[in-house]
Amino acid sequence: MADKPVRADKATAVAELTESFRGSSATLLTEYRGLTVAQLKELRRSLGRETTYAVAKNTLAKRAASDAGITGLDELFSGPTALAFVGGDPVEAAKGLREFAKAHPLLVIKGGVFEGRAIGADEVRKLADLESREVLLAKLAGAMKANLSKAAATLQAPLAQMARLAAALQDKQGGAPAEAPAEAPAE
């Protein structure tokens, strides 16, 4: 009888982890061996409000990943594993983990899931090297504005050139606007 509640608890844990895998824009796996509870708390804060950091049993996490349709992570589920489920910008979470790992070398970034596929630790580092979504959007907006300004100037140039040509022609004819010659009266 004692086995049934344990199995139900495991099934519930797997279901929650599966939902976390499915609902995250990215999931990053780490090994936290040797970190204190206070350091883990600091890490959770540094990842922001949109990222949850949870310690999970490897067998349950492996099953949840499989249930979520994610493959290629099995070799990462060894040793003490914690999962960072990213709800917001994956770049910011990867940067947070990288910076924390620099200050606390006991944190090891193993890899993760990004855009539905498994990625290794090197790819997580490359992700951390990218600029944030907001910075990339601002650069895109700036580039678009510059291109629109260039297009407007290009379209206005022929009109301005025509106006200068008309003014020069008018000046050449003596400063008065050219008039149509009067017709001779009909006899």
CA distance linking residue 73 with residue 81, whole number of Å: 12
64-95 tens-digit pLDDT:
998 998 888 888 898 899 999 999 888 888 88
In this prediction, residue 2 carries a pLDDT of 47
Does position 3 have pLDDT exceeding 60, yes or no?
A: no
53, β-bridge pairs: 84
pLDDT tier, 59 (very low <50, low <70, confident <90, very high otherwise): very high
Percentage helix, strand, coil for the chain under 3-state DSSP, each rounded to 5: 55, 15, 25
Q: Mean pLDDT for the chain?
A: 82
- Range with the lowest mean pLDDT among 2-6, 43-47, 161-165? 2-6
Residue 25, token pair as written in the block: 């824009």
pLDDT tier, 61 (very low <50, low <70, confident <90, very high otherwise): very high
159-179 tens-digit pLDDT:
778 778 788 888 888 755 555
124-136 tens-digit pLDDT:
888 887 766 666 6
Collapsed DSSP state (helix, strand, coil) of residue 55: strand
CATH code of the region 3-130: 3.30.70.1730
Distances (CA, A) of 3 to 9, 10, 15, 16, 104: 10, 11, 18, 20, 39
Residues above pLDDT 90, as percent of the chain: 28
Q: What's the pTM value of the predicted model, to 2 decimals?
A: 0.64
CA distance linking residue 88 with residue 96, whole number of Å: 13
In this prediction, residue 166 carries a pLDDT of 83
In this prediction, residue 27 carries a pLDDT of 92
Residue 65 exposure: Cα atoms within 13 Å on the Cβ side: 27
Distances (CA, A) of 181 to 87, 119, 176, 178, 184: 78, 82, 14, 9, 9
